[in-house]
Amino acid sequence: MLSIHSTSVELEGVPTDIMVQGFADRILVLVTQLGKVGNLIQVSIPSTTPLLSADLDEDSTSGLPAPPAAIQLTPLLGGASSEHLQTLHSLYAAQIATIIWVEEAKKMAVNRRSVVVGIALHRDADERNTFHGVMNHLPPS
């Protein structure tokens, strides 16, 4: 059975839609302020790579689990218009996937599914506040 969770929030004055849909083999996450899918990035990690406990692995300043070093990012569709935006999209994808994997590990999930992240954000918003707002509003996978 497929599970779909979505939420709409206002981040830095911009309406933002966040949707998480689980499939048998992967999880789709869309984060949009533009009403479209945007840049699609697949995030995977070898199943043999351990995820550290969220309690021990969280960055003390952000409260977010650190993405594992073995994480693999694969662009699927679209692309960023600058190197800065490409780095920002990669950061979003890696962090979103890590949060989902940590949450699934808490539920004793057997398989670690790949995460496909679609990102379409306004460029004018405060990047740090928007990033933390998205991470804090991710619905469960």
- What average pLDDT is seen over the chain? 86
Going by pLDDT thresholds of 50, 70 and 90, the confidence category of residue 32 is very high
Is pLDDT at 93 greater than 80 in this prediction?
yes
By the 10 Å C-beta count (0-12 exposed, 13-18 middle, 19+ buried), 5 is classed as: middle
pLDDT tens, residue by residue, 108-121 = 766 789 999 999 99
CA distances in angstroms from 138 to 81, 103, 131, listed in the order given:
25, 11, 11
89 pLDDT above the threshold of 60 = yes
d(CA 29, CA 27): 7
- Structure confidence at residue 41 as a pLDDT band (50, 70, 90): very high
What percent of the chain clears pLDDT 90, i.e. is strictly above it?
A: 55
How large a percentage of the chain has pLDDT more than 70?
88
